[in-house]
Structure 1
Amino acid sequence: MPTSQQVAAVFPGQGSQRRGMGADFCEQFTEARLAFEEASDALALDVAALCFEDDPRLDLTEFAQPAIVTVEIAAYRALAQTLGLEATWFGGHSLGEYAALVAAGVLDLAAAVQLVRERGRYMQDAVPVGAGSMTAVISPGIAAAFPSGVLDGLQVDVANLNSPDQIVLSGSAPDVEAAVERARKVASLGKIRAIPLRVSAPFHCRLMEPARQRLEPLLLDAAPRLRASLADRVTSNASGTWHEPDATAVARALAEQVTAPVRWLDNMQALGERAARVIEIGPAKPLSAFFKATGRRIEAVTDV
């Protein structure tokens, strides 16, 4: 049962990046600057320059992923430093799950940015650019009503269950188009709206299996350094519920996340059952719209 003392911090994933993200926090707060320095040292890369300047690498998955995690942790630590923000529960959408684990104390920031740089690289390598795509499909109640038969015979999976009214399809580009056209013909779904996403690869689907196989050994190698006793304060995208307080289980869940759907609707329910106040922290605030679709308004912090 949520109480007024319980706060959840949630973190968005890839696609939330923007030029200049994190600059306000870095300029004004020591904890934010230290987070950027920690990430830069771990990557041998000037993460501040990557985020603040007009660097085209920010559009590349292997650079965008560590940059986003750095900005989110810099902002979270700045809020903790200045406002005394102390979250009890944590969640993150896709890439944001890594930021959630860092904020919860399960994973070090340095290790997180190294892992997600490789995660981004492996995910991009798994499918040639242009061969895959992702499309958001929006219709009242579609998360519960979408018939799996629509995807029969297609290299397409439901990648995200974002809200009661929005799912995301991911897979082979022509097959995603075919799936959308099939969905339009399902009378029970009513009129649907399809929005192609600007992504460089089809995330969270079977085509990411090569990436999962490459990433899992890195995650298992990192498992002994996880503070797994804190993990049950963080929601898992793959399971839709709380992480187990077991290092190997956390590592395997993060590996599974690469090919499994992001069960964000279930994550929101789990967080809502325990936290009276939810704050989204990141370069943008897409998760606020998902919470709103469930009837809950949350706070969002994108800059100072």
Structure 2
Amino acid sequence: MVSPHVHSDILITGGCGFLGRKLILSLLARTQLPGRIVVLDAFPPSPPSTAISHDTVPIVYRTGSILDTKVLNEVITSSTTCIYHLAAVVSAQAEQDWNLGMQVNFDGTRAIAERCLELGIKPVVVFTSSLAVYGGEVVKNCSEDSHIMPQSSYGAEKAMCELLLSDLSRRGLLDARILRLPTIAIRPGKPNAAASVFISGIVREPLQHKQKTVLPVDEKTLIWIASPRSAIKALVHASVVPRETLVDAQGSRRSVITLPGLSTTPRDLIDAMVRVGGGDASLVEKKPDPKIEAIVGTWPGDIDTPWAKSLGFEVDKNVDDIVKIFVEDDMH
């Protein structure tokens, strides 16, 4: 009998977050299983009961920093063939603390790359970038080929990582697949320090927790979003897209993929929350926040992504589906 396992290790940084957990479950549902999944996060699974186990695939949790050489030496070995690099300091936090953002977002990514170079391995590296790499006039008429012009520290750090990993891929030293993610909505759990946190909050809080929440931007602001289901499908798909298809029209390596998303507004999300889930729109308080508006205003609200779609990356159908997915998957 042929073993269902692929004899390799998969590393997931930031793997104890909600996307990391969903990614683990998705990888374990595949026909071909990894030999081992290593989960690195700055924090342990909380509560401990949320740690995932499997009958035949060892899942190793390691609490530590991607900046710790000893930790990276443990989690990246000669058996590592795929790295999902999700760990990051999020947008508003990176804007508030420049050093922390640079250390985790850029220095941490470089440390991962250097560990791979030290071992002489060339794993597939699926890196989560962001639409925050765009900015300026580009946001009004944006495509996957638009020039990057980040207007935040977070966007600049993600752009720097894109260039680093793209260059290593061009040189044949890694096999990077860089995904510019839309804003992921609807996120369960407690709010984080991301500037986009309100996008999930205006649905989650009235619908799940029956409590008030704040909308810090104009309700007609265009936002580019994707459901967690779409994001996980994209992460897994990115790791198996044939390398030879990741080229531009001139045949040069093209490692950056701007994922398809859904262009909508906070108003549309609130209406869908009421329509699909029966939530109370009066619990959403309009309270403009100039700092959040300044960051979100630099992000494109609509992006043309024909190349990504040609590679097989999919998009959510409509805003009602975004809310339905939250109700079905994450509303407990």
What TM-score do the two structures reach when normalised by structure 2?
0.26
Richer in helix (by share): 1
Which gives a bigger RCO, structure 1 or 2 (Cα 8 Å, sep 6+)? 1
